[in-house]
Copies of this chain bind each other. A is one copy, B any other.
Amino acid sequence: MGWLSLATALTAIEAAAVIAFALSGVVAAARKRLDAVGVCMVAGLAAFGGGTVRDVLLDRRPFFWVEHALWLWVLLGLCVGAMSFLRSRHLSPTLRAMQWPDAIGLGLFTANGTQIALVEGMPAIVAVLMGMITGTFGGVLRDIVCNEIPTAFADHRPYAICAFAGGWALVAAQALQWPGEVGLLLSIVLATGLRAWALRTGFTLPRWEADEPGPPR
């Protein structure tokens, strides 16, 4: 039973994904002209929000950012650095460049969250949902604080759906008794790959008819 190594892997995974999401928070905050506090808070929500919501729902403690408090310092430094960089006006390239670490972060967080929920004995659908929450709710909280409708729910580009697929891949791998590392890898590759493919092809989900009359208030 490689639980220990698996736990280490999960920690490494969660750490690796933090930075990509934190940067997405910095850019979102910069676009809204938040102050330094807002930038750090939004970056922190984007980076740790998904995992924290998952842990609150699963009643798990300590949180990643409590157990590895060093990461709060890393985040602080990251925000200071990113803010000074962004003030030198290279936002748009940053944003495009960020799509790729973000896609990797999505896969990493999804596999991590699903795995944790399965270890906690959650039913398959709940575990997949927890994976999606881990992967997407950082961005959801980021957008809510920035007073926008979460892009994960509104931009018609597959995002949470990639997490959904990746989560089920992990569930299937475990049902098939595959070694844990294989399932994790498969889940990460599937979620990240689907997202990357969607970014490349510009594939979008079916839309509402633009001219459909909204219901009266």
Chain A interfacial positions (CB closer than 8 Å to B): 27, 29-38, 41-42, 52, 56-57, 59, 61, 63, 65-66, 69, 72-73, 87, 89, 91-92, 94-95, 122-126, 129, 140, 144-150, 152-156, 159-161, 205-209, 212-216
A38 engages B91 (CB within 8 Å)? no
B123 engages A38 (CB within 8 Å)? no
Copies in the complex: 3
A-B contacts, 11 of them at CB < 8 A, read A29-B153, A31-B214, A31-B215, A33-B154, A41-B153, A59-B59, A66-B122, A91-B214, A140-B145, A144-B147, A147-B149
Query: Of B32, B122, B205, which one neighbours A35 at CB under 8 angstroms?
Result: B205
Contacts A95-B215, A95-B216 given; indicate if A150 touches B154 (C-beta within 8 A).
no
Which B residue sits closest to A98, measured CB to CB? Answer: B215
B89 engages A213 (CB within 8 Å)? yes
A87 engages B208 (CB within 8 Å)? yes
With the chains together, A95 CA to B216 CA distance in Å? 8
B33 engages A207 (CB within 8 Å)? yes
Residues of B within 8 A of A161 (CB): 36-37
Residues of B within 8 A of A94 (CB): 215
